[in-house]
Copies of this chain bind each other. A is one copy, B any other.
C-alpha cells in the first residue's frame, strides 16, 4: 500500500517504521514541524512536507496520527484525495470523517509509544473499524502486515478501551514517577523497585487484579497508612495516597460482601 502519514509523534513514528519494515510504501510524511517530518522521513525513505497543499493526493491510505484536538482542523484543510482516510486515536469516533470521504476507518494500536524505546509491533493488539466492507478488508490486510493480533472494535467500545488503557498505562507510569521521587529524596536508587514493578505486572497475567491485591490498604492497616501519609511531604501525594487507599478498601469490602 502507498501511504501518506499525517503526524510525526510517538505513535506515528513507531507505526511508520513498522509499516515500512513490512513492505508498505510510506510515500510522504506531513508534519506542522518540518524538522520532525524530515527526521521520520529519513527513517522510512519517504518524502516530507509541512505544507498541507503539498500532500500527495494519489496514495491508497492517509493515516492521521495527530493530537485529538488538532485532528478536526487538519481534516478541514486537507485537499481532496483518493484512498482511505484513517486515524489512530482512542477517543475520536469514526464519524469525524463523514464530511470528507466515503472510505474511512480506524487503526488503533493499543500500546504506549516513546520515541526512544523500541517495541515489537507484531505483539501489539490492533483494533480496526471501517466505513464499509471493502475498507474494512483493506485495513485488515494492512494491520495483519504489522501485527498478529487484529480485532474489530466499534468507536463506542474503543473509547472505553482507551479509558482503561489510561488507567493501566499512563496513571500506572505516573505512580512509578511518584515513587522515584520518594526514593530520590532518600538517595535510594529507583532500580530497587524494578523486580517489584515487574512482578506486579506479571501477577495479573495469571491472577485477576482483585485476587492479586496486597498491601496496607487491603488489610486496612491504619497504623501503616497514617505513618505513610506523615512521611509524604507533598500535599498532592498525601491526597493521592488517601483516595487510592480508600478505593482499594472499598473494593475489597465489595468482595467480602
B-chain residues with CB within 8 Å of residue A237 when the two chains form the complex: 247
Chain B residue nearest to A89 (CB atoms) is B224
Q: How far is the CB of A222 from chain B (nearest CB, A)?
A: 7
Least Cβ–Cβ distance between A158 and chain B, in angstroms: 10
**B186/A160 in contact, CB under 8 A:** yes
Contact residue range for chain A? 35 or more
Residues of B within 8 A of A173 (CB): 200, 203-204, 209, 212-214
Bound Cα distance from A209 to B190, whole angstroms: 10
Q: Which residues of B contact A159 (CB under 8 A)?
A: 227, 231
**In the assembled complex, which residues on chain B have CB atoms less than 8 Å from the CB atom of A178?**
167, 247
Contact B174 A248 (CB under 8 A): yes
Residue of B nearest to A157 (CB): B186
Q: A182-B163, A193-B164, A201-B198 are in contact. Are A243 and B250 (CB under 8 A)?
A: no
Contact present for A244 and B248 (CB under 8 Å):
no
Instruction: Specify which of B90, B161, B179, B221 is in contact with A69 (CB 8 Å cutoff).
Output: B221
Q: Which residues of B contact A90 (CB under 8 A)?
A: 224
**Distance in angstroms between the alpha carbons of A91 and B68 in the assembled complex:** 44
User: Which chain B residue has the least Cβ–Cβ distance from A250?
Assistant: B236
A208–B250 CA distance with the chains assembled, in angstroms:
32
CA distance A202 to B173 in the complex (A): 11
A154-181 interface bits toward B, Cβ cutoff 8 Å, 1 = contact, 0 = none = 0001011111111111111111111110
CB distance from A68 to the nearest CB of B (A): 5
The listed residue with most B CB atoms (<10 A of its CB), out of A123, A193, A251, is: A193
Which residue in B117, B219, B227 is a CB contact (below 8 Å) of A207? B117
Q: Decide: A214 near B182, CB < 8 A? Known: A68-B221, A161-B188, A164-B193.
A: no
Report whether B211 and A163 are in contact in the complex, using a CB–CB cutoff of 8 Å: no
Given contacts A161-B192, A167-B241, A172-B176, 20 further A-B contacts (CB under 8 A): A67-B219, A68-B216, A110-B193, A111-B199, A117-B212, A125-B195, A159-B227, A163-B232, A166-B216, A167-B176, A168-B197, A170-B216, A171-B240, A171-B248, A172-B197, A173-B209, A180-B208, A201-B201, A236-B243, A236-B250
